[in-house]
Chain A
Amino acid sequence: MVIKRFLVLIILIVLLIIRATMVFCADAKTVAYYFHGNARCPTCHKMEQYAKQAIEENFKDELADGVLVVKTVNVEKKENEHFVNDYQLYTKSLIISRVENGKEIQHKNLTKIWEYVSDKKKFFNYVTAEVGDYLRDSQ
């Protein structure tokens, strides 16, 4: 009985190690950035909230594993100004970026958030589909 329990424990530990190693070895993650400035408009707050909610509801495991990260960045802070040129930002934007071994491989500006912000369902579907595509590519 004790041996059986011990074996189950060993199997569980091995499985956990394998999963952690997979995540670590791949060293690939997707970052969803929401960029804003100092002045925040009601629609801009709504977009940030929708984007976070869509990601948190649909990618719980990926967020927990660290393969997906959500960051809110104020581009008017000195240390973040480089993002404007890096991503050619011209307004509040949601950018998804795929990073492998510490280097960005590709990114995409989800420009349609402005089109869909008045329709929560469309907004959620759009963000979920785009983030999902990036996550699939990273695996």
Chain B
Amino acid sequence: MLQIILPFVSALWLGILTSISPCPQATNIAAVSFLSKKINHPKRVLQSSIAYIVGRMFTYVVLGVIIITSLASVPATANFLQKYMNRILGPVLLIVGLFLLDIIKINIPSFSISKDRQTTLAESGVKGSFVLGVIFALSFCPIAAALFFGSLIPLALKSAYGIILPFFYGAGTGIPVVVFALGIAMGVTSFSKWLHKATTFELYTRKLTGMVFILIGIYFIWHHIIAIMV
């Protein structure tokens, strides 16, 4: 029995280890601020958090399948993702940040998006969080690559349930972020109830998330694009 459970627990623990290590903290901060945007609605924060975890799980499962079925080699996949995803991530975060601050608006005639729709996208609970989970999971930093490609994949290749292990790894990488997001939302909800000002904080959270995204976007652009060229 223990032998069956052990790989799943190991996969979950590897995921948690990945998430609490220093290198993914920039994206973790962005994720916590995005997930806890609806800070006075813990239920919506919970829905977004689940979507974020599912997004991460989706990425790792797809990558796991690609590698386990030998469609792509570990070095090729790992190096491609580390080299290019982190370069893409900076501009993406910057654009989303500007969008959250209403500095830029999607207003292309052929893709006419109504104002309501724009607001929905910016407020985007479930869909936005899922996409965020997918993108952040694809942006492998060195420790994430070491633990996913170097520890989880060998474990999955040895296990009879190998294909399921990336699910648990994905859940593990999302859990610490979700715990923080939910903790903040519940804490603030209790605090604002105590203050009898139910919606005050929520007015600022979108702007704050936008600023966090811009700062982290600039950090990624500097570290993964400009610093390399200099």
- Residue pair A39, B223 in contact (C-beta under 8 Å): yes
CA distance A76 to B22 in the complex (A): 23
Given the complex, which residues of A lie within 8 Å of B142, measured CB to CB? 41, 43-44, 91-92
- Decide yes or no: A90 and B75 within 8 Å by CB, A76-B83, A114-B146 being known contacts: yes
Given the complex, which residues of B lie within 8 Å of A90, measured CB to CB? 74-75, 78-79, 145-146, 149-150
For residues 42 through 79 of chain B, which have their beta carbon under 8 Å from a beta carbon of chain A? 73-75, 78-79
CA distance A41 to B86 in the complex (A): 12
Stretch at the interface among A12-20, A81-89, A126-134: A81-89
- Residue pair A39, B22 in contact (C-beta under 8 Å): no
Q: Which residue of A lies closest to B225 (CB)?
A: A39
Contact of A102 with B by CB under 8 A? no
Task: Report A85-123 CB contacts with B as 1/0, cut-off 8 Å.
Answer: 100111110000000000000000001001000000000
Given the complex, which residues of B lie within 8 Å of A89, measured CB to CB? 75, 78-79
For residues 27 through 52 of chain A, which have their beta carbon under 8 Å from a beta carbon of chain B? 37-39, 41-44
Contact of B227 with A by CB under 8 A? yes
Least Cβ distance of A44 to chain B in Å?
6
- Residue pair B143, A85 in contact (C-beta under 8 Å): no
Contact of B228 with A by CB under 8 A? yes
**Chain B residues touching A, majority SS:** helix
Partner of B83, one of A37, A43, A44, A92: A37
Task: Report B81-106 CB contacts with A as 1/0, cut-off 8 Å.
Answer: 01100100000000000000000000
For residues 200 through 230 of chain B, which have their beta carbon under 8 Å from a beta carbon of chain A? 223-224, 227-228
Given the complex, which residues of A lie within 8 Å of B21, measured CB to CB? 43
Of A38, A39, A44, A89, chain B has the most CB atoms within 10 Å of the CB of A39
Task: List 27 A-B pairs, Cβ < 8 Å.
Answer: A39-B224, A39-B228, A41-B22, A41-B142, A43-B21, A43-B22, A43-B142, A75-B79, A76-B83, A84-B75, A84-B79, A85-B75, A88-B73, A89-B75, A89-B78, A89-B79, A90-B74, A90-B75, A90-B145, A90-B146, A91-B78, A91-B82, A91-B149, A91-B150, A111-B146, A111-B151, A114-B147
The 8 closest A-B pairs by CB, nearest first: A90-B78, A90-B149, A91-B145, A38-B228, A114-B146, A91-B146, A91-B142, A84-B75
- Chain A contact residues, CB within 8 Å of chain B: 37-39, 41-44, 75-76, 84-85, 88-92, 111, 114
